[in-house]
Amino acid sequence: MNQNYNDIIYLLYCAVNGIEPDSVRIKDIDIERLYQLAKYHTVRAAVNIALKSAGVVDNKFDQAYKKALRKNIYLDMERISILSDFENNRIWHMPLKGAVLKDLYPENGMREMSDNDILFDKDKQELTYKIMLSHGYTAEHYGISNHDVYQKPPVLNFELHTSLFDTSHPEPLYSYYADTKSMLLKDEGCEYSYHFSDEDFYVYMTAHEWKHYNSSGTGIRSLLDCYVFLKSKGDTLDFDYITEQCRKLKIEDFEKERRTLADKVFSSENLPDLSENEEKMLMYYLTAGTYGNFDNTMKKALQDQTKSGYILRNMFPNVDYMKRSVKFVNKCPVLYPIGIVYRWGRILVIRRNYLKNIIKAVNKYGK
């Protein structure tokens, strides 16, 4: 593992454990390379906090931290306002993922946020659309998949989920969470605001992470989230229940391996000896970035099919995929053939570089 990876792991360890980094250990850090890696993993704010505690001030890191802090505050304010309208309009709802995890980190702004994810009553989707527009948002993606995307410049982004997973995700994720509402606990003092128990939150964050890990990959922030959550809640969790739920989801092995690795990586100032599988898993996190990468996506897609099979499936994707990809097919599925031609034209005219990368990957990984 190269020094840049060692540096970012060490600084993240310091940040989430409230430890001042050793000045000798960090004096020769390549700040520019560290910044690019931290940006790739969306952990610049946490790294900045660790660096500043040791007296190292870098303008790019500092600006990234301040932007992250401001964005978190804006998102919190907007979420409170929007969910107040949900409550008044009798729309049941629950904040997801980072909106909850960020408050478990030692300092405000340490855990960067790209958006706010909220699960809500899918029977009230049209009403939520009107509420979001009344708050000045534009619907960038609405009624096509299991989540609607709303944006308000310059930095506000909300993803409103009608379900935690949809039929495009591997089973048993979709079926397990088909009736998420039945798992939820009502927030005190509210009629329509809900939350997971700590155990169910951990199971969901693990399932969500596995979905990404198993396809395009996910970055070191996911491993850090696991460590922070367990550091905050670990002694109170019912792991017999967690293990049973993960077994039902077929992610039991992943949960144990990820939990063990997170503890090893972030509970010690010096990375302990890792098994061969742990080293491989850690490198997968370190090289994937926050949202995975194209190479991992193609390896996964091509591992169980031939080159010709992959090409045919992508030339003629199923109707559900086309509904998510082409708006007029979503509105009128009988236009699927026209949508196919439209999709080919869009790729050939607008996304030629993407097509070139696909062809290279098929030749590299296809059978």
Who wins on pLDDT, 363 or 196? 196
CB 266 within 8 A of CB 224: yes
Per-residue model confidence (pLDDT) at position 301:
67
Per-residue model confidence (pLDDT) at position 145:
86
Strands (DSSP E) along the chain, which ranges?
93-95, 116-120, 138-141, 147-152, 156-161, 185-186, 194-195
Question: Do both 84 and 169 map to the same domain?
Answer: yes
Q: Is 200 within the bounds of a domain? A: no
Who wins on pLDDT, 41 or 355? 41
The domain boundary residue, chosen from 277, 292, 307: 292
pLDDT higher than 70, residue 297: no
Q: pLDDT confidence of 123, banded at 50, 70, 90? A: very high
The per-residue pLDDT for range 89-104, each reduced to its tens digit, is 999 999 999 999 999 9
Q: In what order do the strands lie in the sheet with 138-141?
A: 93-95, 116-120, 156-161, 147-152, 138-141
pLDDT higher than 90, residue 120: yes
The domain boundary residue, chosen from 136, 165, 195: 195
Q: Tell me the CA distances in angstroms from 319 to 292, 324, 330, 347, one per residue in order.
A: 26, 9, 9, 18
* Selection from 105, 15, 14, 112 nearest residue 67 by Cα: 112
Strands (DSSP E) along 76-115, which ranges?
93-95
Question: Do both 14 and 48 map to the same domain?
Answer: yes
Question: Do both 184 and 240 map to the same domain?
Answer: no
Q: Is 330 within the bounds of a domain? A: yes
Question: Do both 13 and 104 map to the same domain?
Answer: no
Q: CB atoms < 10 A from the CB of 265, how many?
A: 23
Question: Do both 325 and 360 map to the same domain?
Answer: yes
3-state helix, strand, coil in the chain (%, to 5): 65, 10, 30
Per-residue model confidence (pLDDT) at position 95:
96
Question: Do both 37 and 76 map to the same domain?
Answer: no
Who wins on pLDDT, 197 or 141? 197
Q: How many domains does the chain have?
A: 4
pLDDT higher than 90, residue 106: yes
pLDDT higher than 70, residue 266: yes
Could you tell me the residue range of the domain that residue 323 belongs to?
A: 296-365
- For the segment 98-124, the average pLDDT, to the nearest whole number, is 94
What is the domain-level CATH number for residue 113? 3.30.460
Distance of CA 248 to the CA centre of its chain: 22
Q: What percent of the chain has pLDDT over 90?
A: 68
Who wins on pLDDT, 352 or 283? 283
Question: Do both 74 and 172 map to the same domain?
Answer: yes
Crossing angle of helices 239-249 and 252-266, in 10° steps, is: 130
Who wins on pLDDT, 67 or 289? 67
Taking the complete model, does pTM exceed 0.85, yes or no? yes
Longest dimension (CA), the chain: 66
Question: Do both 118 and 190 map to the same domain?
Answer: yes
Question: Do both 288 and 301 map to the same domain?
Answer: no
- For the segment 172-180, the average pLDDT, to the nearest whole number, is 95
Residue with tokens 């430890």: 19
The domain boundary residue, chosen from 271, 292, 313: 292
